Amino acid sequence: MKALSIKQPFAELILQGRKKIELRKWNTKFRGKFFIHAPKISDKKAMQEFNFKELPCGFIVGKAELIDVKKYKNEEEHKKDKELHLASSYWGNFGFVLKNPERIKGISCKGKLGFF
């Protein structure tokens, strides 16, 4: 199964069901189940924003299903989905629409760019 690195706390927010769209600067044709990898370095600003002190990093922490990719054409479209992606347009104009997130026992893993 493929995996995708998603910085903490965003990986945790997906697993909690709070984040339903993962933003990227690139598109993908991939659809299906994948592992969620939390890289060793978290997003410190987002950790504070979402009130997390410590989360697992350097592990595959869960899995989810990518069912669609949404292309945001402008800032207005992006803002409409703010409750679903919980991030700014800085992270990208492609929204990976996710469903069925599931936490798994952590598996130590080095991440890579893109799906790996």
- Per-residue pLDDT reduced to its tens digit, 3-62: 999 999 999 999 999 999 999 999 999 999 999 999 999 999 999 999 999 999 999 999
What is the model's pLDDT at position 16?
Answer: 98
Q: What is d(CA 71, CA 78) in angstroms, rounded to the nearest whole number?
A: 9
Contact 62, 4 (CB under 8 A): no
Domain boundaries, the chain: 3-108
Q: Where are the beta strands (DSSP E) in 6-93?
A: 21-24, 32-38, 59-71
Of the candidates 28, 101, 9, 36, which has an alpha carbon nearest to the alpha carbon of residue 70? 28
- Distance CA(44)–CA(106), nearest Å, equals 21
Q: Which fold has domain 3-108?
A: 2.30.130
Q: Specify burial of residue 43 (Cβ count, 10 A radius: 0-12, 13-18, 19+).
A: middle
Does residue 78 carry a pLDDT above 90?
A: yes
Token duo for residue 16: 């909690």
